[in-house]
Amino acid sequence: MDTQVSKNMLYKTRTLAGRLTSSFGFLKNNLSLFIKLSFYILCPLVVIQSILNAIIIIYPQFYFSIGYFVVGFLILIISMIGNCIYGSLIYSLIQQYAENNYIPLYKNLKPLHTILLKNAGKVFIVICTVMAIFFLLLALTFLLGYLTYYTLLLTVPLILFLIIPLNYIPYVYLFEKKSWIDSLKKSFKIGIKYWSSTFAILFIMVMLSLFILMIIGFPLIFGYNIAIQAYQAILAGENGSLPFYFPYLIFILSCIYLLSMYFSQLLIIVPMAFQYGNAEAVERGLDINHQSL
């Protein structure tokens, strides 16, 4: 099988700037492969989600009916399944790079079928774990805040402090083949030890992702506002009809935005992989070879 070799190994100590530079280099070298393989998963997922979005535009009365909650529930289930499989693909490819220092040039998902299903289950466990911990912390914050608002001075920074280490769970759980509880323990151990650099990478890449999505998503948001204003005009007895092509336009804009949203996850997952690799290199006492700007 052909291979696609990257210049940078994952488990290598780098400066913060070096980790970001290596991440962008990795994406540059492997982006076409990620996009090609991701389309097998994302195309049906995005089409279904976009159709449901278009239906809501065509029938705005869904906002006040049980059907809206049914559609919303379907979107939630489909999104969860799609995110688990898509996340499994991304982490599986990075895992192969971590083990072999290259990613095979797969032409389709068939050779990855077994590992995708295995890792999809692990991604699901990771998502449930992170959500459970987050909502537990959120519930504690509301409970203490209900007693006195002064507790927010402690609980809000505490949530931020504890959420950051959770970003290491998928790498430890999938790459090191540890048990769920051991992965959770190690994630908090290295997450707290390297908290500042982890926060810096997440902050930079999340802001970059949000900025890109804000620009791409503006036409879709604008379209939703038009649909809402048209529906409000109808309720007021005015002419609020939309052109016949409007649902199709929303469908296309929704597809573009959802694809961008899924692909933007690479901007967070990949730099965090190099952050994890740097932490592992330091913990294992590997040869320190800092990469300059």
pLDDT (tens digit per residue) in 220-271:
888 878 877 777 776 666 666 777 788 888 889 999 999 999 999 999 999 9
Instruction: Give the separation between CA 264 and CA 141, rounded to whole angstroms.
Output: 30
pLDDT (tens digit per residue) in 273-292:
999 999 998 887 754 444 33
pLDDT band at residue 4, thresholds of 50, 70 and 90?
Answer: very low
Domain that holds residue 212: 3-110+194-284
pTM for the whole structure: 0.85
In a domain, 156, yes or no: no
Residue type, 156: V
**Is residue 274 within 8 Å of 26, Cβ to Cβ?**
yes
Higher pLDDT, 147 or 8: 147
Q: 247 to each of 57, 169, 253, how far by Cα in Å?
A: 6, 40, 10
Instruction: Give the separation between CA 94 and CA 127, rounded to whole angstroms.
Output: 18
In a domain, 262, yes or no: yes
Return the beta strands (E) in the chain as ranges. Answer: 3-5, 102-104
In a domain, 148, yes or no: no
In a domain, 45, yes or no: yes
pLDDT (tens digit per residue) in 53-101:
777 776 666 666 676 677 778 778 888 888 999 999 999 999 999 888 8
Residue 1 scores a pLDDT above 60 = no
* Predicted local distance difference test score (pLDDT) of residue 7: 44
In a domain, 119, yes or no: no
Where on the phi/psi map is residue 4: left (φ > 0), alpha (ψ -120 to 50), or beta? Answer: beta
Residue 153 CB neighbours (<10 A): 9
Where on the phi/psi map is residue 104: left (φ > 0), alpha (ψ -120 to 50), or beta? Answer: beta
In a domain, 161, yes or no: no
Lowest average pLDDT, out of 137-146, 161-170, 214-223, goes to 137-146
Report the number of distinct structural domains present in the chain: 1
| Cα 72 from chain centroid (whole Å) | 20
Lowest average pLDDT, out of 24-33, 74-83, 201-210, goes to 74-83
Cross-strand bridge partners of residue 24? none
* Predicted local distance difference test score (pLDDT) of residue 60: 63
In a domain, 172, yes or no: no
Higher pLDDT, 150 or 90: 90
Residue where the block lists tokens 């220092």: 101
- The fraction of the chain above a pLDDT of 70, given in percent, is 88
Q: Where is 48: in which H helix or E strand? A: helix 16-58
For 263-292, b/e burial (b = at least 16 CB within 10 A) is bbebbbbbbbbbbbbbbbbeeeeeeeeeee
In a domain, 168, yes or no: no
* Predicted local distance difference test score (pLDDT) of residue 8: 44
* Predicted local distance difference test score (pLDDT) of residue 74: 79
* Predicted local distance difference test score (pLDDT) of residue 228: 74
Angle between helices 180-193 and 195-235 (to 10 degrees): 100
Q: Hey, what are 86's tokens? A: 């898509």
Q: What is the mean pLDDT of residues 98-113?
A: 88
